[in-house]
Amino acid sequence: GRLELVGGGWCMSDEAAAHYGGALQQLALGRRFLRRLFGACGTPRVAWQIDPFGHARELAATFAQMGYDGLFLGRVDHQDKWARQQRRELELIWRGSDSLEPPRADIFTANGSRVHALYSTPSCYLRELHRANLTWPLKTDDFFPYSDGPHQFWTGYFSSRPAFKGYERLSSGFLQVCSQLETLAGPSVQDGPYGPGDSSVLREAVAVAQHHDAVAGTERQHVADDYARQLAKGWDSCQVLVANALSLLGGTKEPLVFCNGLNISVCPLSETTPHFTVILYNPLAWDVSWPVRLPVRATSYAVTDPQGRPVVPVSGVTRRLWGGAGGAPGELLFQAWAPPLGFSTFEVKQLSPGSTWDTPGWPSGTPWDPPRWPSGEPEPQIENEHLRVRFDPIMGHLLEIQNLAKGISLPVFQSFYWYNASAGDGLSPQASGAYIFRPDAATPVPVAKRAATHLLKTALVQEVQQNFSQWCSQVLRLRPGQPYLELEWTVGPIPVGDGLGKEVISRFETPLRTAGRFYTDSNGRQVLQRRAHLGTPGAGQSTPGAGQSTPEPRPTLLTPVPPVQDQKVQLTVLTDRSQGGSSLQDGSLELMVHRRLLHDDNRGLAEALDEPGADGRGLVVRGRHLVLLDTVEASPEQHRPRAQEMVTPPTVVLAPGTGPHLRQPHLSPPPQVSGLRRALPPNVHLLSLEPRGAGAVLLRLEHLYQVGESQNGSRAASVDLTV
């Protein structure tokens, strides 16, 4: 025949902002569709990634492991492509993984090959190359950053549309919850007591969201709105399915409620009901302990089991973000847990609606006061059994992190800055836009030199609330048993009344001697070493001098981020969505959390990246960074499971009253339901579990660690799948 199908995914996925789990899901969904439609002969043998803006090593490894014979790609940095043309190396072998023995992760890669559809097809061309018995150069890193000219680095899209990037990541995680419960509870959940449910709606919406003009953030505003609408429609359908499954597995017919506004502390049921049940479902293959935070109006509650927990105030930032539509004055916090691939139930009862607030360590005043600390506090700090975190008593910034068990102490300064987005200048008319990051100076501007700060200490949480400006704030939080520092940041609406587009970063500064080297992930999976040009703008970020550098400086594709390190100490920062970043100075790490621009970068979008937000005043974004401090040897066993918990977090469902009938008062601890009869080894991750019809189930397991990454974690693992 004359027709050949290439690629075969549900879309041509992005390679920078997409998580490997989402990229794999959309690829598998598209290939199943083609096989169903055309049979085995319609299954593509050639990967076709001609439009994404740079190319990732992890995606090359994925294509190789899925049996593709070759990968054709289109966008390579203009300097890299010119050099390869001179060396006649536009065709090569790309080794996508160090953990798999060659050739399991090797794939033939071509850029600019002379393929003419009239005389050949990609697979025919590859067949002739193999017959010629040629040898090709070997590539082991990735094709980032991409630039198509001086001052034209396509690194802005690593962070464009941060709210949608976060929504896509949450949607991918909830799709796993939906698919797992559909598998565990059986096909009857598709039409249960709460109505018809269907996981395919969300599965297809998440697959579309992997497109290189979707999760990348390079689509027009009305298109981004439609992507979000498709995801929301998928959530609705999956929530019905999840409710049906929990009803079947938990033996309840009570109405189940999903609080989709918890990120802004809004949940109508917990705010208005004095007696309700919390159901925590854990989609991971290991036990999870998870903080449940629910907005409430009363001040005294009993939680069984765990026992009663204190109510803490909601920051003024949370109330202001919602604009008064919610407005619960307090937040109930308790630590919940759930077994692998299962759920636990917790009963919450209001005790005394007339009680006054009891908030130890909470000073008087407003969130906009200068830094103030409780009297008698010799130095502002928060701590638990793992970490002690110190703060500057005058400026209010993070000062130092201590790992108490390891005796490690590291000065860490963290604050927020913004780059002034270029509108073009005498060097180049290129403006910063949805695709391209081009600041007009190498040095960013501090959002504020001082942070207005409050300190809160209770039995369940210790936190410092920082306000840098009316549009930038952060909460740094420690809980008992938590081996990491949580930074929950809120940025926006970014002010542009001065006529300046702004690109906001969170920057960590340490004295670590990193010799210009730092490490990032590839699509959230492999960890790769990067190298920056110290003292010069670059690392894949377009500054006035970036066009003079070679393509060697890399962007930091942070989906999680390990690590800034020296000989003994490693600082690891995990993110909850794709973010661009780099290490422009020794021992530093910066992550771009938000962008608001006033000019188009002339790459086809034809509009500025100026998101209006819910009220038209500009987009407000809230996200999290997790910071870990440990030895280099011990760090992987800390950040690997934490990263998976961020990608696939537990799901919280509420029910009025006692909820599932399997919750019996005489049982303690609360009953738990698990889909696993035996726990998986700690270094094995359950990547996906979904039904395939006619009693078939698709199960994907993966090793959590790279070869040589961890002394214990990198060991071979075996799993017994017999019943």
Residue 271 structure tokens: 């705010």
Residues 51, 369, 425, 615: which is the catalytic one?
51
Q: Are the C-beta atoms of residues 656 and 273 closer than 8 Å to each other?
A: yes
Q: Are the C-beta atoms of residues 642 and 574 closer than 8 Å to each other?
A: yes
Q: Which residues pair with 13 in a beta bridge?
A: 211
CA distances 444 to 251, 285, 396, Å, are: 56, 42, 20
Alpha-helical segments (H) within 48-92:
57-65, 78-87
CA distances 70 to 62, 93, 124, Å, are: 12, 9, 11
577 SS3 class:
coil
Q: Which residues pair with 46 in a beta bridge?
A: 70
Which residue's structure tokens are 């959230």? Answer: 524
In whole angstroms, what is the distance from residue 105 CA to residue 116 CA?
A: 28
108: part of which helix (H) or strand (E)? strand 106-111
CA distances 689 to 255, 341, 418, Å, are: 26, 10, 42
478 SS3 class:
strand
Least Cα distance to 342 among 293, 291, 286, 303 occurs for 286
Q: Is residue 51 flagged as an active site residue?
A: yes
In whole angstroms, what is the distance from residue 629 CA to residue 403 CA?
A: 6
Annotate 198-210 with DSSP letters as a single string.
-SHHHHHHHHHHT
CA distances 440 to 221, 378, 503, 546, Å, are: 25, 43, 11, 11
Query: Which amino acid type is present at position 372?
Result: R
CA distances 14 to 286, 563, 576, 716, Å, are: 30, 24, 18, 31
Q: How far is CA 718 from the centre of its chain?
A: 29
Residue 240 structure tokens: 């019905």
Catalytic residue ranges: 51
